[in-house]
Amino acid sequence: MAYSIGTAAKLVDIPPSTIRYYDAQGLLPALGRNAGGLRMFEHADIESLRMIECLKKSGMPIKDICQFMKWCSAGDSSLEERLQMFNERKAAVQQQMDELHRTLDVIEYKCWYYQTALDAGTEQASREMPFDLMPPHIAKLKHEYFPDHPAEDQEGVA
């Protein structure tokens, strides 16, 4: 079954303009067209679009995605290159996730910090609270991200 660009866009949840861009960049080399010249998407093209979107979301540049698509077209002779590429993507995404977890930790601490200050009516309550009175996970975050940090005690920095 062949799909129009509009249907393909809905199936992959991206705008048709993005699909046109991918096609113009050579990411869909086997894409067929009907007698009127309109792009027609087979199931394999939909799967390719999903893979392109996955790689794009992982931070991979379009030129590298294009190389991956060429390797796919080359068949089994490029299996090693594709595996290596995915191992590298996996490591890059894991690093991004680790950074985001650290960012979320700081945000979680700051949510507690400001909620505690708001509840007490003063920021001093958060700043001066002993570790043993803090929820354990908050004390751990403060110790990890703000160990004896004098800047936190300065107005406007916390």
Domains of the chain: 5-57 (1.10.1660.10), 94-153 (no CATH)
> 26: closest CA among 75, 59, 62?
62
d(CA 83, CA 87): 6
Contacts 24+ apart (CB under 8 A), 34-39: 34/2, 38/4, 38/5, 39/4, 39/5, 39/8
Q: Across the chain, what does the average pLDDT equal?
A: 91
> In 10 A of CB 61, how many CB atoms?
10
Highest mean pLDDT among 11-15, 32-36, 124-128: 11-15
Averaged pLDDT for residues 35-51? 94
Q: Which helix (H) or strand (E) holds 113?
A: helix 79-120
Specify which residues 103 forms β-bridges with: none
**Above 60 in pLDDT, residue 149?**
no
Q: How confident is the model at residue 29 (pLDDT cuts 50, 70, 90)?
A: confident
The vertex-54 CA angle with 50 and 79, nearest 5°, equals 85
Averaged pLDDT for residues 94-99? 97
Strands (DSSP E) found in the chain: 32-33, 39-40
**Above 80 in pLDDT, residue 151?**
no
Dihedral sign from CA coordinates of 75, 77, 79, 81:
negative
